[in-house]
Every structure is written in structure tokens, then in C-alpha cells.
Amino acid sequence: MLGSMHGKHRFGLDYTPLFRFLLSKVGQDWDSVYSEAVARLDKDEPIFRLVALHTEDRKAYVRTGESSYFSGLYVDDDNLLVLVDPDLTVEKMKPWCPCCTHTFNGMRFTQSYEWPVSSSP
């Protein structure tokens, strides 16, 4: 009964500043970006939510919250941090529901939700 009320899981941490930092370092040397990022964290796991180290893990975008998305990143053969899909922009993203404010890399989606066309008789 006298155990800790603090579980092993940590909920509610906002990694948006980390994700924005990583995006700002696209095109730079991965080792120095990683060193700078990990120095401010208690663990490196959040970095790898966006950065894929293996080809099969690459994603054009990553969902980081209910309606928040960020560009997927990876480390190329020259050890540079790069975008998985450099052509993906907020203008190309479509919301999947009408009730939320969807964001991509911190910017609000420019497209509106498209209601499904009903096939009424």
C-alpha cells in the first residue's frame, strides 16, 4: 500500500520542440544533430519517432498526436538527416475528420475535411 503513486509510464510529454528542432536540422550531419538532441533528453526514444534508421521504417509522415503530424526523417548514406518525402507539404495533407484542427509540422492543414458523398436513392 505504501508504493509509489508514480508508475513507470510517463504520459503527457510534449515532444513538439524536439520534432521542430529535428526538422530545422534537415541537411546537417546526423551525428552532431543526434548529440545535440540527446543531450537535452532523458532517453533517445522520442528522436526515433521521427527519424528512421532502417529503410523499412521510413514513413513520409508520422502521427504524433490525435491530429498532429510531422515529416518523417531518415539518415542517408552521407550521414545527413533528410526528409523521407521532400515533396510532402501541408497543402497536400487532408484531414480525416471534421472536428479536429489538424497540423503538419506545426502548421494548420489548408484543405478542409471532405464529407463522404452519400448515395441516396
What is the residue type of 1? M
Three-state SS letters, 9-37? CCCCCCCHHHHHHHHHCCCCEHHHHHHHH
Whether pLDDT at 1 is above 70: no
Give the chain's mean pLDDT. 89
Q: Quote the pLDDT of residue 89.
A: 96
Whether pLDDT at 73 is above 50: yes
Mean pLDDT along residues 35-54: 95
* Cα distances (Å, whole numbers) of residue 34 to 31, 37, 61, 78: 5, 5, 20, 15
Rounded to two decimals, the pTM is 0.83
Q: Quote the pLDDT of residue 116.
A: 83
Q: Quote the pLDDT of residue 4.
A: 47
Whether pLDDT at 6 is above 60: no
Q: Which of 2-6, 15-19, 106-110 has the lowest mean pLDDT?
A: 2-6
Q: Quote the pLDDT of residue 12.
A: 64
Query: What is 35-87 written as a DSSP string?
Result: HHHHTTSS-STTHHHHEESSGGG--SEEE-SSSEEEE-EEE-TTSBEEES-TT
